[in-house]
Amino acid sequence: MRKSIKLLALSMLALVLVLSGCNFSNSSSTSSGDGKNQGEKTEAKKTLNLSLENDIPDLNQVKTTDGISFSVLNNIMEGLYRLDENHEAVPAMAESVDISDDKLTYTFHIREGVKWSNGEVVTAHDFRYSWLRAMHPDTAGSYSFIIADYVKGGAEYLAGEAADSDVGIVAEDDQTLVVTINEPTPYFLGLTAFVTYFPLNEKFVTEAGDSFALTADKILYNGPFTLTEYDQAAGVKLVKNDQYWDSYNVDIDEVSLKVIKENSTALNLFDAGELDKVYLSSSDILSYQDSEEYGTESKFNSWFLQMNLTKAPFDNLNIRKAFQLAVDPEILTSQILNNGSTPASGVVAAGMAGVDGQLFRELNPNLVTPDIEKAKEYLAAGLAEIGGKLPEVTILTADDTIAKDTATFLQSEFKKNLGVDVQISTKPYSGRLQAMRDDDYQLGINKWGADYNDASTYLDLWVSVPEAKPLRGNYSSEKYNDLVAKSKTEKDEAKRMEYLLEAERVMVVEDSILTPLYDEGKAFLLNTDVSNFTTHPYGAPLELKYVKKN
């Protein structure tokens, strides 16, 4: 027998959701009921002016992988679920769901009459098409795993070994989507709030061809806002979507998101009243921390220095261990960043759920502890193995303020603690990503923001099946792959967690493929006329649906 679950009545993530994303004192609650038949608003137009710290790499939801693109897409699109102000999954395009007793079959009932921005109705077929497109060998992107790893037949379809009819995604009719997954997954409903799970209209995508998602008119919208302007390097303009099913509860009429890479420039614009929110650099925090506009937010963003295991000298384990132990993240967070970020000792961010009420980081503490003397010993051993001399070493970084400051700090640490001169190569954010994907780097400052509240959102990234990934340092370990694979099928949660804990230890401690740097925190100023500003610690960071402005 199936149990029918009305989504509005339940909290949909079984895993504990922690770390409120924004602790600014002006927060308030917003009703989230169906906006139909509630009349029209008559208030004057409300505009929100915000900044993006880097360019927008890609708004093709099947291909994109970065937090900035996710933030834009999260506000112009919508999946079966949406994260609310408390970062819990709540009903969005799905009105209700039936879950089988074995927790393997989900029957989603799509809201009737909800329209795309071009007036066509959003149907279950749009979800099926989008999910299959995300996994098809010809169109799949880096995030194909977030569907393929869970949906029955998804992995085989991604590998080109199964037909679409073999995949557990069936649109029984326009309003009914039946999804079969491989194993009971407590957080599966929350996954459907993620960008890769958003719907796509097949006719629109086909007609757009190679131009799909390159300009504002080549994107179809079903979220709270639509794009009227889109320039990867300059930013976007969002306008409230009147076709959105819950538009009555969207308070903001227009949003300007400008790309502003320098913190000082953004702060000047905030002080001039031209921005409603600005993130602070460490040098500005003392001047503003007593202001009523000041606040902080925590994110499940783990920053690390990725070593490329196929590029000398980081194909040598002792050299990697030397560079790993020569860096003190405490100095970085307290003296350089000073923005609420905390030192990292592993790749899974602090605050991520573990098991039995304990956080993952509590179960796997202090994987990497700086040790200059050991670092020097490892360097000497590594040099003896590679002929006594290091090749020129370069750190690849993005060109925003924090990334550049981090690179300069690392350069100083390696010189001071190892006597090694390191160069810095700076590129725009999208250029840095592309260079790492193209295997054109030795050391790269990178981060990963959690997609959902489970350690697998990080550890899945370094699985080298079907092949190693340049962006992940070309890491390939059968031992690591096996541990992560076992965690996918283990039904005992404590045993499953032990597999994940051991996998992180293998990658970070035994193989030393990266240097943990910090778990991201941010200090900001927010216009006191703005309230209920929500940033999610995982998934797509920026949430504009709930924002209010006086």
Mean pLDDT, the chain, integer: 91
Q: What is the mean pLDDT of residues 383-399?
A: 97
How much is the pLDDT for 465? 81
Radius of gyration for the chain, computed over Cα atoms and rounded to the nearest angstrom? 23
Separation between Cα atoms, residue 397 and residue 518, nearest integer Å:
15
- Residue 185 exposed, middle or buried by CB count within 10 Å (0-12, 13-18, 19+): buried
The phi, psi pair for 414, rounded to 5°, reads -70, -35
Q: Kindly indicate the confidence band of residue 43, based on its pLDDT and cuts at 50, 70 and 90.
A: low
- Collapsed DSSP state (helix, strand, coil) of residue 321: helix
pLDDT at 397 over 50: yes
pLDDT at 471 over 60: yes
CATH assignment of 298-522, given 3.40.50.1370, 2.60.120.380, 3.10.105.10, 1.10.8.50?
3.10.105.10
pLDDT at 39 over 80: no
DSSP code string of 326-345: T--HHHIIIIII-SS-EE-S
How much is the pLDDT for 3? 38
- Of 442, 461, 464, which is closest to residue 451 (Cα–Cα)? 461
CATH 3.40.190.10 range(s) for the chain read 3-27+44-259+527-549
The two counts, helices (H) then strands (E), for the chain are: 17, 24
pLDDT at 417 over 80: yes
**For the CA atoms of 539, 541, 544, 546, what is the dihedral angle to 10 degrees?**
70
Separation between Cα atoms, residue 436 and residue 417, nearest integer Å:
26
* CB crowding 142-178: b at 16 or more within 10 Å, else e: bbbbbbbbbbbbbbebbeeebeeeebbbebeeebebb
pTM to 2 decimal places? 0.77
Q: Kindly indicate the confidence band of residue 36, based on its pLDDT and cuts at 50, 70 and 90.
A: very low
Q: Kindly indicate the confidence band of residue 11, based on its pLDDT and cuts at 50, 70 and 90.
A: very low
How much is the pLDDT for 472? 97
Which CATH number describes the domain made up of 3-27+44-259+527-549? Answer: 3.40.190.10
Q: What is the pLDDT of residues 446-463, one digit of tens each?
A: 999 898 889 999 999 999
pLDDT at 31 over 50: no
CATH 3.10.105.10 range(s) for the chain read 298-522
Q: What is the pLDDT of residues 163-181, one digit of tens each?
A: 999 999 999 999 999 999 9
Omega of the bond prior to 391 within 30 degrees of 0, cis?
no
pLDDT at 35 over 50: no
Q: What is the pLDDT of residues 262-306, one digit of tens each?
A: 999 999 999 999 999 999 988 899 899 999 999 999 889 999 999
How much is the pLDDT for 42? 54
pLDDT-wise least confident of 13-17, 36-40, 394-398: 13-17
